Structures are given as C-alpha cells and as structure tokens.
Amino acid sequence: MVNKVTELFNIDKSYVANTYNRFPVEIASGKGSIMYSTDGKRYIDMGTGIAVNAFGVADDEWTAAVTAQLMKVQHTSNLYYTEPCAILAKMLCEKTGMKKVFFGNSGAEANECVIKVARKYAAEKKGAEYSTIVTLKNSFHGRTLTTLAATGQEHYHELFQPLTPGFVHAEANNIEEMKQVIAENKVAAVIIECVQGEGGVIALDADYVKELRKLTEENDILLAVDEVQTGNGRTGALYAYMNYGIMPDLVSTAKGIGGGLPLGACLMSEKVEGVLGFGDHGSTFGGNPVCCAGAVSIIGRIDDALLDGVRAKSEYIFSELKDADGVESVSGMGLMIGIKTVKPAGEVLKACMDKGVLCLTAKDKVRLLPALNIPDDLLAEAIAVIKEACKA
C-alpha cells in the first residue's frame, strides 16, 4: 500500500504542473466531516477543501440532487433554459434582495463579472475614464491577470507583469485614505472582503464598512463585496455583508455555493441589474445544471437554524482557543477562523495532521474552515487536537 501511494505521489509530481506544494496524503473517500486517506487513516476535516464542501464530504442531500440531475442531462450550453439554474438564481435573489445573477465557474470569474459590470455602469453613467477599481491592501481576489491586479498583495504580482491596468489599493479600515483615493482617481467601484481570508482571516471594522457604504453612495461609486470565501453561511450569516448591516451593489461568490462542484456567481442589485445585455458576457460552463442542482440543495438549507448552529460552533471554538497555551490570538467570524500561534503555523498544521486533523494556513496563521454542520463531538475532538498541537 505504502509503495502504491508513493508511486502516485511520483506520478503526480512528474506530470501535474508544479504549482501546489501538496501534503503527502492521498484522500480516498469521506463522509461528512471525516475523510480517509488511501492507507486507511481517519482525518477530521477542518478545511473543507478551502470552504468548498459546505456540508462536508458526500453529503446525502447534495449527492442525491447532483446525481439526479446528472442522470437527466449534464450540460446544455447557455442557449437553452434549465431548471436548476433558474431556481438557484431566484433563490439567491429572494434571500438577498439582489435582482439578477450571472453564473460562472470560480471565484476569480465571479470577480471578473463584478469588474465588467462596474466598468460598464460607470462608463455609461459617468464616462469611460471612470474605470478605476479600488481594492484593499492585503486582499485576495483571484489568479486571473485581472483579479491578480485586484489582489492587494505585491508578491502575487511580481512575475506576471503587465497586469490589467486600472486598479488601486487602499489601506483597510482607513476611511481617510479611501476618501483621498476616491478624490484622486476616477473610480468605478470599490471591492472589499468583509473578512480577508487569504490575507490572514481579518474582519473589517464595522464602522469602516458602514462609512465606506456611505462614501461610495455619495459619490455614485459601486460597492462590491467579494464573498467567495465568506459567503454561503460561512460567517454565521448567509453573506458576510449581512453582519455589517449594509446592502452592496454587487456581490461575488463561489467556493461553498456549489458544495464541492465548480460554481461562481455575481449578484447584481437593482442599480446594476440592467447593465449587462446580450453578448456582454458569457461562460460555456456557467450555470451548469449539475452544479446548480447541488447549489440549490446547499443554499436551500442555509436557514436560521443552520446559521444559529454556525454561530454556536464559532463561539465554542473562540472560547476554547482564545486563552489556550501557545495561542496568541484568534480572529475571524463564524466558521472562518484564524489562529495566531506561538509556534510557526506550518508546524502546528503538521502536528494536527499526524494526529488526524486537517487544518489550513492563511499567512502566518492556522486557519479553520470546517463544514457548516460539523457535529459537535467531532468539533470537540478536533479542537482538543489543535489545542495540544499549539502548546508552546
């Protein structure tokens, strides 16, 4: 068995592009918040494939929805209507107050759509020179050349110049700097993550987000919230902006919405619902009926009871970890949690993995993104392992 696994690692290393520094674990199967490697080891999954498997692995309802659609028709192109796509769009609009949805396949594409809508809206309303998109320093918005330009972390940019022009980065939680950036540039939109994920699980200040909403409104600048990671119940609300009591003009989401299949969405408010017309945007796979059928099962179950559970599990994690030995601080919201540890995060991650708990990192933190419905006993088991691994 060990030899077979090693052989697979070598094939992967030889033939798959060298962009991921994988851990030496081959995941074979799982159920809910448990995953098994090929050598039979049991893991509690505190990462959900980076906030993707919202209800865990092989969730019964999701699997049934996906397979039922799969056996009807797997793809049609966007030249025809399909039920899952229409039902999902209606569901998202009814739950958010947004008016229209464009479906793509990933977070980066959802943000590309946000940027296209913002630029067209501003060009028609204020003139083509109003094309600047402001994002925050330390943000993450994706890996395409345009969403890399949007990403406010220089180290991602270095080797890929020239990036798409027209992006300016402002310091998070600094409304004075944002006012200055808006005064000095012809701005179409501001994009924020309410909780910066890849940047280290850092929630924006509530006052800043409220003032930013006011500032953008006063200047007829669109406010877009990147909910690719924070969305779909992750922070204890359906979308993280709801925790801040604001209404954005545009929302991008992906990761958890598909429950494990590739799906991204750009949600458009009343102000911008009519911006995109025939031929302005498209995606061959976007709104794929199998992905959408799975997403209907996910979004349909993110109700008040589930969100209460997310918040209760979150409180439990915070209370267990905040004064734990070897823990400097705990940040985040809902089931999107960053742990600043005395030991290097990578070391803690490795110790957890040895003891059968899969965690993630974000910058210098250990990051937890468990399933929204992780059973309390498994959560307690995982947190005990994490606490032990953090001990300085």
Q: Which residues bind ligand PLP (CB under 6 A)?
A: 106-108, 111, 140-142, 193, 197-198, 226, 228-229, 254-255
Indicate the residue among 336 and 378 with the shorter CB distance to ligand PLP: 336
Could you tell me which of 152, 276, 271 has the C-alpha nearest to residue 202? 152
Nearest distance in Å: CB 153, ligand PLP? 12
Residue appearing with tokens 């910058």: 363
φ, ψ of residue 30 to 5 degrees: the values are 180, 175
Shortest CB 110 distance to ligand PLP, Å = 8
Q: Which is nearer to ligand PLP, 108 or 224 (CB)?
A: 108
Give backbone dihedrals phi and psi of 255, rounded to 5 degrees, phi first.
30, -100
Token pair recorded at residue 273: 């619902």
Q: Minimal CB distance to ligand PLP: which residue?
A: 107
The residue (of 108 and 327) whose beta carbon lies closer to ligand PLP is 108
Query: Both tokens of residue 59?
Result: 């969730």
Give me the residues paired with residue 251 across strands. Answer: 225, 267
Min separation Cβ 144 and ligand PLP, Å:
8
**Mapping DSSP to helix (H, G, I), strand (E, B) and coil, where does residue 25 land?**
coil
Closest distance to ligand PLP from the beta carbon of 154 (Å) = 17
Q: What's the min distance (Å) between Cβ of 315 and ligand PLP?
A: 23
Taking the complex as a whole, the smallest distance from the CB of residue 55 to ligand PLP amounts, in Å, to 18
Q: Which is nearer to ligand PLP, 231 or 327 (CB)?
A: 231
Q: d(Cα 112, Cα 16) in Å, to the nearest integer?
A: 26
For ligand PLP, give the closer residue by CB, 130 or 244.
244
Of residues 369 and 378, the one with the C-beta less far from ligand PLP: 369
Torsion of CA 375, 59, 371, 290, to 10 degrees: -160
Q: In 3D, which of 163, 167, 142, 325 has the Cα closest to residue 229?
A: 142
Helical H runs in 144-285?
Answer: 145-150, 175-184, 206-218
Helix ranges restricted to H, the chain: 2-15, 48-51, 60-70, 83-96, 107-125, 145-150, 175-184, 206-218, 289-301, 304-321, 345-354, 376-390
Q: Least distance from C-beta 52 to ligand PLP, angstroms?
A: 9
Least distance from ligand PLP to the Cβ atom of residue 35, Å: 20
What is the chain's percent helix, strand, coil content, to nearest 5? 40, 20, 40
Closest approach of Cβ 141 to ligand PLP, in Å?
5
Q: Give the span between the Cα atoms of 335 and 312, in whole angstroms.
A: 10
Burial class (CB in 10 A: 0-12, 13-18, 19+), 226: buried
Q: Check if the beta carbon of residue 198 is closer than 8 Å to that of residue 50.
A: no
Secondary structure (3-state) at 361: strand
Q: How far is the CB of 375 from ligand PLP (least distance, A)?
A: 26
Q: Which is nearer to ligand PLP, 47 or 197 (CB)?
A: 197
Name every residue whose Cβ is closer than 8 Å to that of residue 351 and which is 6 or more positions away in sequence: 388, 389
- Choice between 246 and 385, CB closer to ligand PLP: 246
Q: Closer to ligand PLP at the Cβ: 59 or 109?
A: 109
Q: Which is nearer to ligand PLP, 196 or 373 (CB)?
A: 196
